[in-house]
Amino acid sequence: MYFTTTTSTIPLRNIAAAIANQDFGGRSPVIRGDVFFLNVSRSLIFHMYDDRGLDIIAVDKETLQPLFATYNRWIPDYDRERIEVTFA
């Protein structure tokens, strides 16, 4: 299922909380399953998989470069070397 909309109409904080709560019984809101946000104009896919993290996917690394520069400190140590090589 998919919906076409604008970012301003999406309750992003509520959806992020629901995704983060999916592994914890009794918390709400909760979403079961995967949620992907596709930004067609920027060719980006955003996938928060649980309370530990998310993936941001693009067709080229130039699209991701500003995010890499801004949020570099958020990269987990176990992924850091592989990701830094991509942007070197």
Residue-wise pLDDT for 46-56, tens only, equals 999 999 999 99
Backbone angles phi, psi at 51, to 5 degrees: -70, -10
Q: Is 37's pLDDT higher than 90?
A: yes
Q: What pLDDT does 11 receive?
A: 95
| Cα distance between residue 81 and residue 15, in whole Å | 30
Residue whose token pair is 């992003």: 12
| Cα distance between residue 8 and residue 78, in whole Å | 34
Banded model confidence at residue 61, pLDDT cuts 50, 70, 90: very high
| Cα distance between residue 68 and residue 22, in whole Å | 27
Chain-centroid distance of CA 74 in Å reads 12
